[in-house]
Structure 1
Amino acid sequence: MTTKRQLHLNTNASNVGRHPAGWRTLPNPRSGIDVNFYREIAQLAEREKFDAIFLSDTLSLRNPAAGPSQSLEPTVLLAALAGATTHIGLIGTASTTFNDPFNLARRFASVDHISGGRVAWNVVTTYDAAAAANFGADASPDKAQRYARANEFVDVVNKLWDSWEDDALVADQATGRYADVDKIHTIDHRGSHFSVAGPLTVPRSPQGRPVLVQAGSSEDGRALAARTADAIFTAQTTLTSGQAFYADIKARARAAGRNPDHIHILPGLLPVLGGTEAEARAHKAELDALLDTSREIARLAGVLGLHAEDLHIDRPLPYDLIAKVARSTQSQGFVDATLHQAREGNLTVREILDRNPGAHRIVVGTPEQVADDIATWFAQRGADGFNLNADVFPSGLAAVVEHVVPLLQRRGIFRRDYEGSTLREHFDLPRPASRYAA
């Protein structure tokens, strides 16, 4: 593993791009269900030595009239991308609320074998009532219940991934002995939410265990991440809030007895590039012109737990109303990110809509401006790297790959080539031993 601190970059290939109207500019507006579209994105990111490609997920259909949503199941799509790439990591999202530990552990271990050790599981809990209805429930559990289940879920999955020791698979054709049964272990887990005997049906992963990523920024999410995650995806819109989050997670990891260097903080970032800042802003304006403003106001209101009529386009947010909203059905991280940015800049609703509301920080400018921004956050411990969005794929990613990444490489903070073959090696993480090994 490298000793010098290095920047980590993923591409967030969820959907066809972060801009809500981006799909209207694509040669194939149905690209979101075309595996070749995602292959092109993965291969483009791999060409410039990105750590990983990341796929989010949703378990209910949201506003299909307005544009595409994340349709394809992440682990299935990642298995296809594994065959189209050789080095880039493959990160997929799966909910602990509406999955089973054994099946999920098996799916991710399977794709880890298929890819040669390049897989990570992005752990999320699901608060969406529409998703709950798809799984026979009237509503999602409350936050405390979701995270209690998530903590036990992650523990069970890790036990299952460890249930085969590294050398348990013998495959000795001469003797006919396939596996050393003394090195395959039941886990005999009995908990509040799960009863799982084990062992897993899949031998141990090429990287020991798939990498664990966590995406919650609430108090419960931070506690789970500090205890279990190798990386955290977070929404941070100001450097001060990013630094505070970074310091908090590292301190929590240290208090849990972990090496804080082994948990990477990776905020989302949306670069919109042009040869000049004016060109970048003109490009964004062309996309914005395709938006329905009333629909975007309703989208922002939904993120904040409000009604569209609560927001006025040229006024600040109604902070008094927002303070009264119960946060059981919204993403706390996205709400906090939007509020930090709005308060720090004293923004109107119109100005918030211009800045990718309820999502990730946007930087509109030249490659040099974007590279400066990334380097500043990295040097000042606001991030260990970024989960990079694109306004529209693949063109938005291509612009970053061709014009921003070389600047980061010249500064010596991003790799010029892969030093290993697994995602753990890309992330400079040690390979964990099986807890059941003697």
Structure 2
Amino acid sequence: MSTSKRQMRLGAFIMATGHHIAAWRHPEAQADAGLNIDHYRELAQTAERGKFDLVFVADSPAGWDRAKDPEALRRTAQGAHFEPLTLWAALSQVTKHIGFVATASTTYEDPYLLARRFASLDYISKGRAAWNVVTTGADVSKNFSIAGHPAHADRYERAEEFVDLVKGLWDSYEDDAFIRDKESGVYLDPDKVHLVDHKGKFFSVAGPLNVGRPVQGYPVIVQAGASEPGRELAARTAEMIFTANQTLEDAQEFYSDVKGRLARYGRRPDELLISPGIFPVLGGTEAEAQANYDYIQSLVHPSIAWNILARHYRGVDLSGYSLDDPAPPLPDNTELNKSRLKLVSDLVSRNNLTLRQFYLAVATARGHRTVVGTPEQIADAMQTWFENGAADAFNIMPPVLPTALTDFVDQVVPILRKRGLFRHEYEGTTLRENLGLQRPPNGFALQVQQQKAQAAV
């Protein structure tokens, strides 16, 4: 048994100009960040300098609906940005250790093509790829050749089949299938190439994949749903789960619940890492941190404020409200993102927020935890959750980029190291090794071994 002290894991959760909705207006922001490769290169290298485990960009097939709010469209910087796998393939060539998490939807993607792209990224990055599995709550069916947006339950049922199929495709080639013996002229052992021959409710795929088994066996599987089916999917398939929690008690409940589901799938608690998001606003003093927070909040234009509210109050007429009126209960649209709806609804009811306070809370981190304070206070907040059954890792959500990530690396990471909570050097060369996750065996190879063992009895 290892006697080494448990270490927290860190991810840099990147939104082009920063996580704050008005970050692009900040004097320190890179306004064209979404389509600026030099900007992303700097961020990846800064995170690697801080010995972060991974960088992550949220992604969605959704676009901006011009008809709903043209004025807000004029003032948002979050609509145009790089496709993540293409971006990560490029950045893997200017880094050596940090992992790359790309979001891809099980509702709007094809399993074969997705498996192929992620396997390729794992080779290109030499074992540093991860897939953030999402079902996509937003209805973007008008951009795809499907008959409408699937219901919540159907999306998760499809996701279960999708993930299993992708893993099967990644196992198409056993690890030692490629012989590549120039003298004999033998390149491949056909007995170690497998068809998935999958015929399910949603997909019919023969295989094999035309990419060798990924360097990590499977790219690390990340999941972000916190609804009941989301938690169950994570317990069965995920190795890291991104979550949003506002309070220690909520985070502890989520942590305990998901970890408690692992045993029925033959898994140990350390095989799934829980990583809540944290939006840190730093200052040399509490007063300076609060001033920094107040300033960026002042950059939110009224049209953006009302657009934020309209997105959460779908179907509700807010025309008779002022921003200083108490926020009414949020409508229960159960076919969208159930877990985020509950989190935001709890935020409103628990704190008796006005509409102004509500949009300001969501403008920062969209329901994730916001911590305003000195570097020591940020470290304290993280340590409390890490040591009290609420987190294994943290997704750091810099308000403004690139400066807020640099400040975190230079000011908070040294404190975490001094307290023995975070690494000084990387443990391995792959993302799995750095996260302390095992490389999974090939499912087809296991079947062959089991069949041979049964035949020998």
What's the TM-score, normalizing by structure 2?
A: 0.91
Query: 2 CA distance for matches of 1:85 and 1:166?
Result: 25
CA-CA distance at 1:312 after TM superposition: 4.5
CA contact (8 A) 1:147 1:220 kept: yes
- Which residues of structure 1 form unaligned runs of 5+? none
Query: 2 CA distance for matches of 1:176 and 1:4?
Result: 50
Structure-2 residue corresponding to 1:74:
84
Structure-1 residue corresponding to 2:371:
363
Structure-2 residue corresponding to 1:16:
17
Structure-2 residue corresponding to 1:7:
8
Matched, 1:339 2:340: no
Query: 2 CA distance for matches of 1:78 and 1:64?
Result: 27
- Matched ranges for 1:31-430 at <5 A: 31-62=33-64, 64-69=73-78, 71-129=81-139, 131-137=140-146, 139-305=148-314, 307=316, 309=318, 312-319=322-329, 322=330, 324-329=331-336, 331-356=337-362, 358-430=366-438
SS in 2 for 1:203: coil
CA-CA distance at 1:182 after TM superposition: 1.0
CA contact (8 A) 1:9 1:385 kept: yes
Query: 1 CA distance for matches of 2:39 and 2:312?
Result: 29
CA contact (8 A) 1:355 1:361 kept: no
CA contact (8 A) 1:234 1:333 kept: no
SS in 2 for 1:92: strand
C-alpha change, 1:118 and 1:304, in structure 2 (3 Å) is farther
CA contact (8 A) 1:235 1:333 kept: no
- Percent of residue pairs bearing the same amino acid type: 46
Query: 1 CA distance for matches of 2:309 and 2:91?
Result: 33
1:30 to 24, 29, 32: 32
Query: 2 CA distance for matches of 1:174 and 1:308?
Result: 76
SS in 2 for 1:337: helix
C-alpha change, 1:304 and 1:112, in structure 2 (3 Å) is farther
Structure-1 residue corresponding to 2:454:
none
Query: 2 CA distance for matches of 1:248 and 1:28?
Result: 40
SS in 1 for 2:74: coil
CA contact (8 A) 1:94 1:122 kept: yes
CA offsets, 1:214-257, max 9 Å, x none? 11111111111111000111111111111111111001112222
CA contact (8 A) 1:281 1:364 kept: yes
CA-CA distance at 1:295 after TM superposition: 2.4
What's the TM-score, normalizing by structure 1?
A: 0.94
Structure-1 residue corresponding to 2:452:
none
Query: 2 CA distance for matches of 1:95 and 1:2?
Result: 39
CA contact (8 A) 2:244 2:367 kept: yes
The range that moved more, 142-151 or 305-314, is 305-314
The range that moved more, 362-371 or 163-172, is 163-172
Query: 2 CA distance for matches of 1:219 and 1:304?
Result: 23
CA contact (8 A) 1:235 1:360 kept: yes
C-alpha change, 1:392 and 1:419, in structure 2 (3 Å) is same
SS in 1 for 2:156: helix
Superposed CA RMSD: 1.8
CA contact (8 A) 2:130 2:221 kept: yes
SS in 1 for 2:423: coil
SS in 2 for 1:356: helix
CA offsets, 1:177-222, max 9 Å, x none? 1221111111111101111111111111111110000111111111
Query: 1 CA distance for matches of 2:278 and 2:81?
Result: 22
- Which residues of structure 2 form unaligned runs of 5+? 65-71, 450-457
SS in 1 for 2:169: helix
Give the structure with higher Rg (CA): 2
Query: 2 CA distance for matches of 1:343 and 1:380?
Result: 25
CA offsets, 1:326-359, max 9 Å, x none? 2213x22322222333333333333333333533
SS in 2 for 1:309: coil
**What letter corresponds to residue 152 of structure 1 in structure 2?**
E
